Structure 1
Amino acid sequence: MMKGLRANRWMALGLLAVVVFTSAVLLAVAAPSTGTAVQDEAAGEKAAPGKGGVKPQAQAGERKPDADGEAAAAAPQKQAVATAEQTAVSQEQTTDSPEQAVSKGGAKSPLPEDGMFQDAAENGRLRLKADSRSGHFIVTDKKTGQIWRSFPDPDGWDDKQNTDAWKLHLQSPFMFRYVEFNVRKDLDKESNFIAQSGKVASFDMTEDGFRIVYELPELGFVIPVQVRLKDDYVETRIVSEGLVDEKAYTKEEQEKKKDLKARLVSIRLFPFLGAATSDREDGFLLIPDGPGALIDFKKDQPDLINFYNERVYGDDWAYSYNTGFSNRQPVKMPIFGIKSGKQAVLGIIQEGMEYASVFAVPSKSFSQYNWVTAEHYFRFKFFQPTDTRRDDGFFTYNQDLTGGDRATRYYFLSGGDPGYVDMAARYRTYLTDEAGVVPLKEDKKKVPLHLNLLGADTEKGFLWDSYLPLTTTDQAKEIVQELSSLGVEDMSIAYMGWQKGGYSKYGGHFPIAGGLGGNGGMKTFVDYAHSKGFPVFLDARSYSFNNTGRDGFRKSRDGLRDLSSAVIEFKNKVMNVTLVSPRFMADVIGEDLKDAKKLEVNGFLYGDAVGSFINSDYNENKPYKRLDTRQVQEKVMQQTKEMLGSVTVTQANFYSARYAGHLDGVYSDYSYDMFVDRIVPFAQIALHGLVSYSHDYANLSGNYVQSYLKGIEYGAEPSFLITYAPSQELMKSRSLNIFYSTNYKDWTEEMVSLYQRYNEALGGVRDQFIVNHRMLTEGVYETAYSNGRRIIVNYNDTPYSGDGVSVKANDFTAAGGG
């Protein structure tokens, strides 16, 4: 399900069974007061026992507003109150501006005209104009004249390609989903501002933009929104203060009309900002799948329902029981983007990212437009069991609204021909200026070999289990000594499976097992590694779980609970494992850091519930929202850094980059959606020069040559997972049989060779930024660094010559710089 280290852990434990279906039940037309139903296939008043979940997304069909209303745009004003119908009709009746598009079907585009907008804010580079009737806005680059709109590009509007339902979606400043608890508590509906006869309750100019309050009288929703112009971006914000999603009924109204108990589920605010058609095929959508993936604009796009909708930082397990996990790789970066022609937009979810998803749709799926946006969630669907076995039950949404502002920043790129490299470079600047990531300052220029030593596990027995040593501390010293003598001058060592019982045991880590060498043996090994200048880390991902009862763990008290109050456990024929609460985990790590400090290790290697995934916790003793859990993780990483000196995180969410000296298991591949056209090293471009990183273990790769070439192309560092014991010994263990080739003797020559080849390519650029990445020809890619270094990688079976270089088949060459 997940690649790299986290995948290996789950496969090893056999803990997760993933059932995911792809949905395509869409385009149902409904009246404005009802919206469109969106229902999980597995959901209903009563769920089928054990049935997995579905991830459908449907769009609303709504009645088109009546053809009466105001005739033209009003003069600029401080306050404005308008209905959605008046807004839509006034847009149709306003005199054409020179830029106003006429559809291919002959009808004028119903989208707002530039003449309707009034000045709202301005700085040295950008100008912001706003429409007080709808809250739509236009941003203009004062130097280049490039224009970005919060609605689809009117140029190319084709009336015949958009259904009546989607014409309303495309005009609306926001789309939303809601649930009616007194009708179907398991079913959400999708609609938009215009279809619901929404009103602009107030519109106020502010120092750097404007504030608008939307009302949806039929549902009783009030949605305050703020738009601010900053140096090179606009920030849109759903303001929690004043947000209402409950209709207040008078006594007379209650007698006449049943309260449907409509409640907000999610909002897509200005979802079509930068949206464009595929007429010119000169653009793409950027999605945070794997290291980054592009969906190209294509005229001949098949008329299929294709879309990408993934939660930032992955699924929340507190809502995932009986609904299934996504089969895509979890999103690690809260970003998205769109390029059209000579301009581009990078979106960064600034606040509320823990409750957001990235939603991307190519043209001809729902409408004629390519678009990508953030969807901000306020409620979540979950399975409520009705029996102790948790077989029977029903799906519903949580009653309480998840509060907090939801803010998204849109960075506008123009001048030249901005693409994914420029977007990644802007994200890199964001990481340093806004997220607290400090650039690398390297004295040494060598690329280290990341050596992961697998210490021990539990051996399955007929009557009882026994300890299975695989790499003792004395053997670890022997491995490091041999590699060092063969020319590996720089290493970073991580010791895995060092806890009591080895890799499969969770809880009671210290003291280190005598079968591995005990505390004394580990201290001796650490001292030896330090004498060589090599740092040593202890793998601490196992603190995320407990299956031993050690550390005073009680499942009923210290286990993480989902929304139905059930403790989250993973069970199979081999073992049961409980996910621990953030509070318990943080307390145990805080104590164990003192023991680790005595060993003088350089840090902990985190992952899983520290830096890799985040969950809500409905434990009565200490409940945590998803944001709270993230803050606990950051506190743990900061505490570790202060006490031990450094932190490594595997398959890290990008908030971990602020604390980590190295990121392990960074994605180098994507999820293989059919509508994705290209994989790009967006994450690596953003990270290089800030934090070092490595991909999957080279000795466990399905295609060794391609894997190592991808590492060279993407600026990664080599990583191996090895044991002193023969690989077949792992077959005796409870959880390590998927690590099929780990014996260090089998890989010594390759480790030395790969270390040398990586340094041949990347020596001297560890602290340099990636400034360009491009495909020279099919199967040949170039990566350029800020010091002039160029790396050309050839994945083809034939040599390449061009651009002043020659590259052998399945090889690389380095030129300049370094």
Structure 2
Amino acid sequence: MMRMTGTMQMGGWYRRALTVTVRMAIGLTSIALLAPQVPAALADAVLAPAPVVEQASLPDGFAMVAETSTLRLHANFTDSRLVVEDRRSGKMWASNPFEQLGPQKASQEDALFLLSATNAKRQMTNLLTWNTEKPKISAVNIPGGFRATYDIDKFKMRFTIEYVIREEKAADGRAVPFLEVTVPDKGIEEYGDCKLVTSPTCFKMVTLEILPLFGAARAGQKGYVMVPDGAGAIVEFKPEYPQYRQRYSAQIFGPDAAANLFTVGGSGGRGGNSVTRPTMPIWGLKQEDGAYAGIVTQGEFQANVNAYLAGYIMNANRGSAEFIFRRQASIPRRRSVFVNKIEEDRLPGDRQVRYVLLTGDDSNYAGMGRAFRDYLMLVKGLKPLPAEPPRPLLDLFMGITRRTSFREDFVPMTTFDQALTIIGEFINKGVKDFDVHLIGWADDGYRGRWPRRYPSESTLGGDDRLRNLVQEAKRLGVKVFFEDDYMFGYTFSSGGIIGQIPGLRNIWPNWSYGFNSRWDTVRGVNKLPVFEGSGGIYLLNPVIARDNYLERDLPTHKAMGIDGVVLRQMGNMVMSDTNDRYPLSRGEVAATWMKMADRERETLGGAMVQGANSYVLGHTDRVYDAPVTSLDAFGDATVPVYHIATQGLVVRQTIRANLRNDPKTELLRQYEWGMQPVYQLTYAPSSDLIRTDYNLLYSSQYEDWLDPAVQEYKSMRETFGFLSGQAIMNHEILQRNFNRVTYADGTRLYVNYNPDSRRTPEGAEIRGYGYALERKGR
């Protein structure tokens, strides 16, 4: 039976950084391949054999080097190209096209990788593209595949790449077959003479794009490339295409603040997601009746996702991962004079990509999302959520200091006692067992005096009233979370010039509560502190933030009785750090932050991380500020790949539901993508925030939003709460702006974004700007 729930209720950017770019078209060199071996470690020994399609014909020169229950790996003995055969469907996934793509063969059609290098000067001039140098290739068989060594003598560079096919077993028993490509760090050798900047034999690897044509679709084929921008987007193959001059290329998890000038744009820039970025180390390609999902499993913090349409260099639609081995930096030469150079040392670590091959009903963007979900569960250890509905979350904005040239004053928006009043109003309206997130509660409010937290802002009531708020809320069944910031430090809290003397700030810690901008901050690739020049805001080294400030204030948090914290911005941006005492890679920065979140959860009972970057998954109770769109102009349509991957594994929250631009469609999207709302309210009118750093909150007075918020919180719990632990099995675009979501238990949700009605395939009518929920058995 179709349950009609009615119409919507309305409530309120690396190649330019290179000196030499070497485009390697891998040449005709023999490979010594031993007999293929299938190791016992492969999971096909425990997986039931898949339905097998007879081995398809291949061009001359290919031989099988490995096999599993669902895949065969073939390699060409003369040029090291490879083909992965999907035995379930007979689909052939080639590293390079079998046939010439156009009237004239493009220089990159035979490339197994694209290599960018710089010379001894490491400057950003003399860009050179070279397509004719052939490396010497040697290969040996390894379990599940082969290892190829590429020696580029002219560039005095040697590296290895391993190509292996594997299978894993998903939670539901499905075989998950994939090609795994690894670039071992120990296999990279740069053996040129780099003692002199004029050396003609010095070359250093900058980027390496592996298998740039894997599964490439010829012009005229149907399909799309999926890019991980925001929630996800698809770029459809075009039947007619120009000679494109642009591609999609974005660094996973956003740009490295240590390699770029750190600025925060706009009012309240640290309070939310202002632009979209790749939130997942994944991309995908659908080609006619097959698809694959590429997942960067090692080296994702220094990698780009690239996507190209036919007409860009060659007539093929394609996607790939590009690993960064050296970054660019603006090096100071003298006061206000900088020169751009590539860093000297190579970023360490193995690089790895798995290409999960999809067939049948899985060969679409929904299957790509489920492939990432399988990875999160099998490799990252995520578990399904319990069946009960998630608790509603309410944000209360407490206050902020308004600073001008000659004065500052504190703007109280919700005192601690007023927060209790608002909580009581929601309870009286029937909202029970919900969570409250206090923003701007600490000393000096939202802008704060970080890393100082306590005492809490006296204008709001001080520590006594804050403690009373927490205790009374707990008595009412409401959990209280404090927003906390371990990323940023403000020179306003450093005790001025005296506070910059390392020993003194430790003599009077209760007086200073400060940090040293020379020793305690993140340093960029150019070794300079990373800061926002407009306000004396520095990025804190994560190890120092953890050891000096988190451990200092965690006992006070616990004494307050709070149920957890919301860690500001740790899932929205990530940087490397060349701090002399505690140098960290981007991955190590993220890992340190997540250890901080785990520490908070263990001590207080809960922790949320603001931002959706996938490294937060498994460390946050909720994804606070989940992606709600994709804004990159390269994409044709936004698709909820992020939410397909995470639905039923973690609660995802929108933020500031009271600031929706289009309430009808944004509420529908929330339903469709399985997200939960967060209203951000105040006791005082939002006009009080004029000329503050939080004037984005233009409509927030709780009296205006109480009824819409109550209605939405109740609706989400009563109507959609049972889907909390359910995985999304499929997402379909039935018609323009008319979509269907299918859950693991058979529940189907139809969402109509059109002003007029639409009919389901079964004939049921869905009203304009409406939705319908078809529950299994009802």
Amino acid in structure 2 at the alignment position of 1:742: S
Separation in 2, partners of 1:75, 1:583? 48
What residue in structure 1 maps to residue 321 of structure 2? 374
Spell out, residue by residue over 1:422-462, the C-alpha distance to the aligned partner (whole angstroms, 9 max, x if none). Answer: 111121111011012221013x33x5432111111113467
Question: Any conservation in 1 of the 2:61–2:78 contact (CA below 8 Å)?
Answer: no
Which aligned pairs between 1:297-308 and structure 2 lie closer than 5 A? 297-308=237-248
Per the alignment, do residues 133 and 483 of structure 1 end up closer, same or farther by CA in structure 2, a change over 3 Å counting? same
Structure 1 residue 261, shift from structure 2 partner: 2.2
Counterpart among 262, 275, 279 of residue 220 in structure 2: 279
Which aligned pairs between 1:114-125 and structure 2 lie closer than 5 A? 114-125=59-70
Counterpart among 94, 105, 112 of residue 173 in structure 1: 112
Amino acid in structure 2 at the alignment position of 1:369: A
Per the alignment, do residues 63 and 323 of structure 1 end up closer, same or farther by CA in structure 2, a change over 3 Å counting? farther
Amino acid in structure 1 at the alignment position of 2:239: K
Separation in 2, partners of 1:132, 1:647? 54
Question: Any conservation in 2 of the 1:179–1:189 contact (CA below 8 Å)?
Answer: no
State how many pairs are aligned: 710
Which aligned pairs between 1:489-508 and structure 2 lie closer than 5 A? 489-505=432-448, 506-508=450-452
Which aligned pairs between 1:748-767 and structure 2 lie closer than 5 A? 748-759=706-717, 761-767=719-725
Per the alignment, do residues 595 and 804 of structure 1 end up closer, same or farther by CA in structure 2, a change over 3 Å counting? farther
Would you say 1:330 and 2:271 are equivalent positions?
Answer: no
Would you say 1:472 and 2:415 are equivalent positions?
Answer: yes
What residue in structure 2 maps to residue 362 of structure 1? 309
Name the SS of the counterpart of 1:114 in structure 2: coil
Per the alignment, do residues 786 and 290 of structure 1 end up closer, same or farther by CA in structure 2, a change over 3 Å counting? same
Separation in 2, partners of 1:327, 1:362? 27
Separation in 1, partners of 2:445, 2:179? 51
Separation in 1, partners of 2:343, 2:316? 33
Question: Any conservation in 1 of the 2:326–2:347 contact (CA below 8 Å)?
Answer: yes
Which aligned pairs between 1:86-235 and structure 2 lie closer than 5 A? 114-152=59-97, 154=98, 157-160=100-103, 162=104, 167-182=106-121, 184-186=123-125, 189-191=128-130, 195-200=132-137, 202-231=138-167, 232-235=177-180
Amino acid in structure 1 at the alignment position of 2:232: G
Spell out, residue by residue over 1:585-628, the C-alpha distance to the aligned partner (whole angstroms, 9 max, x if none). Answer: 212112222211112212111232x3332111122232222222
Structure 1 residue 191, shift from structure 2 partner: 4.7
Structure 1 residue 463, shift from structure 2 partner: 4.1
Which has the higher mean CA deviation after the structures are superposed, 423-432 or 794-803? Answer: 794-803
Question: Any conservation in 1 of the 2:486–2:550 contact (CA below 8 Å)?
Answer: no
Separation in 1, partners of 2:244, 2:426? 54
Separation in 2, partners of 1:603, 1:402? 36
Question: Any conservation in 2 of the 1:182–1:261 contact (CA below 8 Å)?
Answer: no
Separation in 1, partners of 2:93, 2:668? 39
Structure 1 residue 783, shift from structure 2 partner: 1.5
Structure 1 residue 220, shift from structure 2 partner: 0.6
| TM-align CA RMSD | 2.9
Spell out, residue by residue over 1:529-570, the C-alpha distance to the aligned partner (whole angstroms, 9 max, x if none). Answer: 333333221111364333321533011111211122221221
Per the alignment, do residues 191 and 333 of structure 1 end up closer, same or farther by CA in structure 2, a change over 3 Å counting? farther
Separation in 1, partners of 2:311, 2:384? 42
Per the alignment, do residues 158 and 327 of structure 1 end up closer, same or farther by CA in structure 2, a change over 3 Å counting? farther
Amino acid in structure 2 at the alignment position of 1:359: N
Amino acid in structure 2 at the alignment position of 1:214: Y
Would you say 1:242 and 2:242 are equivalent positions?
Answer: no
What residue in structure 1 maps to residue 209 of structure 2? 268
Would you say 1:722 and 2:681 are equivalent positions?
Answer: yes
Counterpart among 352, 375, 387 of residue 430 in structure 1: 375
Per the alignment, do residues 260 and 184 of structure 1 end up closer, same or farther by CA in structure 2, a change over 3 Å counting? farther
Which aligned pairs between 1:564-579 and structure 2 lie closer than 5 A? 564-572=526-534, 575-579=535-539
Name the SS of the counterpart of 2:609 in structure 1: strand
Counterpart among 265, 280, 286 of residue 339 in structure 1: 286
Q: Unpaired segments of 5 or more residues in structure 1?
A: 1-19, 24-37, 45-57, 80-97, 101-112
Question: Any conservation in 1 of the 2:655–2:680 contact (CA below 8 Å)?
Answer: no
Give the TM-score of the pair, scaled to structure 1: 0.82
Would you say 1:671 and 2:611 are equivalent positions?
Answer: no
Separation in 2, partners of 1:378, 1:61? 16
Spell out, residue by residue over 1:658-702, the C-alpha distance to the aligned partner (whole angstroms, 9 max, x if none). Answer: 1111111111111241x3111100001111100010123211222
Spell out, residue by residue over 1:201-237, the C-alpha distance to the aligned partner (whole angstroms, 9 max, x if none). Answer: x311012211111100000110111122210111101
Would you say 1:605 and 2:580 are equivalent positions?
Answer: no
Name the SS of the counterpart of 1:317 in structure 2: coil
Would you say 1:316 and 2:256 are equivalent positions?
Answer: yes
Amino acid in structure 1 at the alignment position of 2:240: D
Counterpart among 231, 234, 245 of residue 294 in structure 1: 234
Separation in 1, partners of 2:763, 2:718? 19
Would you say 1:692 and 2:635 are equivalent positions?
Answer: no
Separation in 2, partners of 1:615, 1:474? 39
Per the alignment, do residues 207 and 797 of structure 1 end up closer, same or farther by CA in structure 2, a change over 3 Å counting? same
Would you say 1:534 and 2:478 are equivalent positions?
Answer: yes
Would you say 1:662 and 2:631 are equivalent positions?
Answer: no
What residue in structure 1 maps to residue 502 of structure 2? none
Question: Any conservation in 2 of the 1:287–1:358 contact (CA below 8 Å)?
Answer: yes
Amino acid in structure 2 at the alignment position of 1:197: K
Would you say 1:743 and 2:679 are equivalent positions?
Answer: no
Amino acid in structure 2 at the alignment position of 1:174: F
Per the alignment, do residues 158 and 616 of structure 1 end up closer, same or farther by CA in structure 2, a change over 3 Å counting? closer
Per the alignment, do residues 553 and 653 of structure 1 end up closer, same or farther by CA in structure 2, a change over 3 Å counting? same
Question: Any conservation in 1 of the 2:648–2:725 contact (CA below 8 Å)?
Answer: yes
Structure 1 residue 636, shift from structure 2 partner: 0.9
Question: Any conservation in 1 of the 2:25–2:134 contact (CA below 8 Å)?
Answer: no
Separation in 2, partners of 1:225, 1:715? 40
Separation in 2, partners of 1:248, 1:461? 56
Per the alignment, do residues 395 and 761 of structure 1 end up closer, same or farther by CA in structure 2, a change over 3 Å counting? same
Separation in 2, partners of 1:302, 1:698? 41
Per the alignment, do residues 183 and 680 of structure 1 end up closer, same or farther by CA in structure 2, a change over 3 Å counting? closer
Per the alignment, do residues 756 and 807 of structure 1 end up closer, same or farther by CA in structure 2, a change over 3 Å counting? farther
Which aligned pairs between 1:547-626 and structure 2 lie closer than 5 A? 547=491, 548-549=493-494, 550-572=512-534, 575-587=535-547, 588-608=549-569, 610-626=570-586
Structure 1 residue 99, shift from structure 2 partner: 8.0
Per the alignment, do residues 460 and 607 of structure 1 end up closer, same or farther by CA in structure 2, a change over 3 Å counting? closer
Name the SS of the counterpart of 1:774 in structure 2: strand
Structure 1 residue 136, shift from structure 2 partner: 2.3
Which has the higher mean CA deviation after the structures are superposed, 459-468 or 432-441? Answer: 459-468
Question: Any conservation in 1 of the 2:102–2:315 contact (CA below 8 Å)?
Answer: no
Separation in 1, partners of 2:126, 2:604? 49
Which has the higher mean CA deviation after the structures are superposed, 316-325 or 408-417? Answer: 316-325
Give the TM-score of the pair, scaled to structure 2: 0.86
Question: Any conservation in 1 of the 2:372–2:645 contact (CA below 8 Å)?
Answer: yes
Question: Any conservation in 1 of the 2:233–2:635 contact (CA below 8 Å)?
Answer: yes
Question: Any conservation in 2 of the 1:321–1:382 contact (CA below 8 Å)?
Answer: no
Separation in 1, partners of 2:713, 2:31? 68
Structure 1 residue 371, shift from structure 2 partner: 0.7
